[in-house]
Amino acid sequence: MAKRSLAAGFRQRKDGRYESRFTVNGKRYSVYADTLKECKAKDAELRERIKAGSYVSNRNITLDQYYEEWKAARQGTIKGNTALNIECRYRKHISPAMGSRKMVDIEKREIVRLQKELAQKVKATTVNITIVQLKSIFNDAVVDGIITKSPAAGVKALKVEGMSATETYHRALTLEEQNLFMENVKQEWLYELIALLLCTGMRLGEATALTWSDIDYINNVIHVTKTISRSATGEYITDTPKSKTSIRDIPLNDSIKRVLKSQKEKLSLVHGNVIPLSQAVFEGVYGGMVHNSSANKAIRDTLKRINAEEEKIEHFSAHALRDTFATRYIEQGGSAQVLKTILGHASLSMTMDLYSHVLPNTKQEEMNSINIAL
């Protein structure tokens, strides 16, 4: 088969990749790519950058400079929250240590040193995630022809002590704490939101993303299809849920219906009796989207009133209401398999690991209900 004829300046290397070479003002430039189409695109982009005066040669490009290119290339391929976390880790842990260094000069020992220094300040899991991010940057730099080999390739992950699901469990309120808290939180603008979290086990972002179109009285369910999260720029946005299993239907019961009825009556005082289906179920005291910080502030303010004279309830965040719902559900004889679907867990084992500590309390009661005739 005849070899493909390529335009001037382009060639196919022995490894199958394509290369473009050209000279501008006596300086030679080259780009590499897996396909000819990609190579032509890179060639055109590089020529434009040289023309605009923004090109930095491979030999001189710093980690910070390449990171900006790397970040731009990933835009739109990852969720806003993920992009924000990547940006925060880079600015906090990576850039101060080696951001101004030329990529071609960075050595493995510098990355190992960074790893050791971080291990003195943050958890091993955070260190490992940071190094994985750094490896990804260097791996892409190899593909882009910036460097020939990744200096992070041989850096081993730190050993992390296994953490069971129960160790990530926030805490559930006791029944006494629950009753005391719910009685005192009624004066807060976001009372109905907090009550819904307790009655459904929804994540806070899922509840604040609800619109009235998600409340399905015909099928008697709440459709959970979206969540409020942070974009790469830190703005609050409506996004898809964290996983496929997070998209789910939660059955309505009388308690949930009462909460929703109360919330609709509250909104009607502001917006009138006709509330469009696209309207958010919950909104801030001055209108607009409810931020996580607002819900947690309502909880803090309530706890301050309760604990004014003596501490009766330890501090907790909105997520504890999810754990409280799950605990009450199991205590009252609910099925772990059904609880899994209500919470949107990926697996039954996750549900069991998180809430198995509740089961011993119900074991004796269940055993007492079983009488075998002898």
Q: What digits encode the pLDDT tens for the residues 25-43?
A: 777 777 878 889 988 988 8
pLDDT at 255 over 70: yes
pLDDT band at residue 164 under the 50/70/90 scheme: very low
Nearest to 259 by CA among 370, 185, 331, 330: 185
Q: Mean per-residue pLDDT for 284-304?
A: 92
Which contiguous run of DSSP H or E holds residue 238?
Answer: strand 236-239
Position of tokens 């099925």? 335
Coil, helix or strand at residue 20: strand
Coil, helix or strand at residue 358: helix
Identify the CATH homologous superfamily for domain 170-361: Intergrase catalytic core (1.10.443.10)
pLDDT band at residue 333 under the 50/70/90 scheme: confident
Own/partner contacts of 357-361, CB < 8 Å, gap of 24 or more, are 357/166, 357/169, 358/327, 358/330, 358/331, 359/330, 361/331
Least confident of 157-171, 245-259, 287-301: 157-171
Q: Measured between alpha carbons, how far is residue 52 from residues 47, 56, 58, 61, 63 in Å?
A: 9, 11, 17, 17, 21
Least confident of 52-56, 80-84, 146-150, 240-244: 52-56
pLDDT at 180 over 70: yes
pLDDT at 372: 64
H-type alpha helices, 272-335: 292-306, 319-331
Q: Mean per-residue pLDDT for 228-256?
A: 85
Percent of the chain with pLDDT strictly greater than 90: 51
pLDDT at 1: 44
Percent of the chain with pLDDT strictly greater than 70: 88
Please state the separation of Cα 69 from the chain's center in Å: 23
Give dist(CA 255, CA 268) in Å, integer. Answer: 20
CATH for the 63-143 domain, from 3.30.70, 1.10.150, 1.10.3470, 1.10.260: 1.10.150
pLDDT at 165 over 70: no
pLDDT at 167 over 50: no
pLDDT at 74: 79
pLDDT band at residue 166 under the 50/70/90 scheme: very low
Show Cβ contacts of residue 163 under 8 Å, excluding neighbours closer than 6 positions: none
pLDDT at 334 over 80: yes
Name the CA dihedral angle for 140, 146, 148, 152, rounded to a multiple of 10 degrees. -50
Q: Mean per-residue pLDDT for 363-372?
A: 58
Sorted by where each begins, the domain ranges of the chain are 16-52, 63-143, 170-361
Give dist(CA 124, CA 364) in Å, integer. Answer: 40
pLDDT at 54 over 60: no
Higher-confidence residue: 22 or 181? 181
Share the mean pLDDT of the chain: 86
pLDDT at 84: 85
Q: Mean per-residue pLDDT for 304-311?
A: 90
Q: Mean per-residue pLDDT for 325-342?
A: 89
Higher-confidence residue: 300 or 370? 300
Give dist(CA 238, CA 204) in Å, integer. Answer: 13
pTM of the full structure: 0.62
Q: Mean per-residue pLDDT for 314-339?
A: 90
> CB–CB of 74/85 below 8 Å?
no
Whether 63-143 shares its CATH topology with 170-361 is answered no
Q: Mean per-residue pLDDT for 152-170?
A: 69
Give dist(CA 84, CA 77) in Å, integer. Answer: 13
pLDDT at 17: 84
pLDDT at 172: 87
User: End-to-end distance of the chain based on CA atoms, in angstroms?
Assistant: 86
Coil, helix or strand at residue 211: strand
Token pair of 231, please?
Answer: 């974009």
pLDDT at 233 over 80: no
pLDDT at 215: 97
Higher-confidence residue: 8 or 63? 63
Least confident of 46-50, 176-180, 263-267, 295-299: 46-50
